[in-house]
Each structure stands twice: as structure tokens, then as C-alpha cells.
Amino acid sequence: MTKNEMKKHLIDFYISRAYTHLYILGFFADGAVWRVVVTADELDFVTKLDKASRGAGYSLRFKPNKAQKNYLKSLGAEILCSEKFFRELKEMSKYNLGELFEKLETERVGQTWVKDNVPFTEDGDLTVDGVAYQLKFEKATFITEAQMMRMERA
């Protein structure tokens, strides 16, 4: 299987099992943290095939380059906060950047954030007005080849 075929296979598998097909993606650009809502249709363009850690094969990651960030901005991305504020928050927190993005986005819509480990197959990370969203921040992994194989066997 070529890398392009593997990427497509991971995307298709992820979409087939995901509870929601709406995503709020966060990324750094121009000294700010941006947020944008996209559908599963955008995943091929804004993800990359990467090596997973600990022998888990390939991974599908949200690791946007400059062109992809500009594209996401063109889809109506908004600034969530300054990069400086976000990084200072990280220094004072036990949470990683993805968790902090989830926290800020959840609080932005007037909800209280609670860290959880609900699988992507069972619910989104955030539900607003009955609509579930999966949240991903720059460098986040959607799925690994090993996860996919475990799920296929289950």
C-alpha cells in the first residue's frame, strides 16, 4: 500500500467510526491561536501521514503547514487568543496544548471543561446546541494504524 493509499485508508476508517463529522481545529499562526470549524471533507487536505510512536505504524495527524493554515483561515477561522497567552497558560498548567485548546474552546461557549477520555467513536469533545464536535490542536493525532487494526478486530 502506498503512503497516499494508507492516508486515505486511515481517513476513511476514522470517518466510518467517528461519532461526529464536525471538527474544531486549533493552530498557531501570526502570533495567535486560531480556531476553525471544518467537516470531514477537509480532513484529507489538512492532515498528514506521519510515523506513530512506539511501533504503532503510521498515524494520521493534524500538523498543518503554512499553506494549510492559510487555507483554514480562508474557511472563516477566528482568533481564540494570543499565542503568548496560550503558552503562558501551558507553563502554569499540567495539561498539554490540545487539552488547553479544548478547555478554552469549551469555556468560550459558556460550558465548564472536564478532562475526559471518551473515545471518538462514542461522542465528540464538545457539544453545542445538540451538535457534537471533535477538537484537535496542531500536532494532534486522529488515529494510528495500530488503533485501526485493534478496532477492525474488535
114 is a domain residue: yes
86 is a domain residue: yes
109 is a domain residue: yes
Pairing type for strands 140-144 and 58-62 reads antiparallel
154 is a domain residue: no
Q: What's the domain range around 43?
A: 3-149
35 is a domain residue: yes
Specify the number of domains making up the chain. 1
84 is a domain residue: yes
- If we measure between CA atoms, which residue out of 45, 42, 35 comes closest to residue 138? 35
pTM above 0.85, yes or no: yes
| Alpha-carbon gap, residue 74 to 67, rounded angstroms | 11
Kindly report, residue by residue over 92-130, the tens digit of the pLDDT.
Answer: 999 999 999 999 999 999 999 999 889 999 999 999 999
Q: In percent, how much of the chain has pLDDT > 70?
A: 100
Backbone angles phi, psi at 111, to 5 degrees: -110, 160
111 is a domain residue: yes
Pairing type for strands 131-137 and 22-29 reads parallel
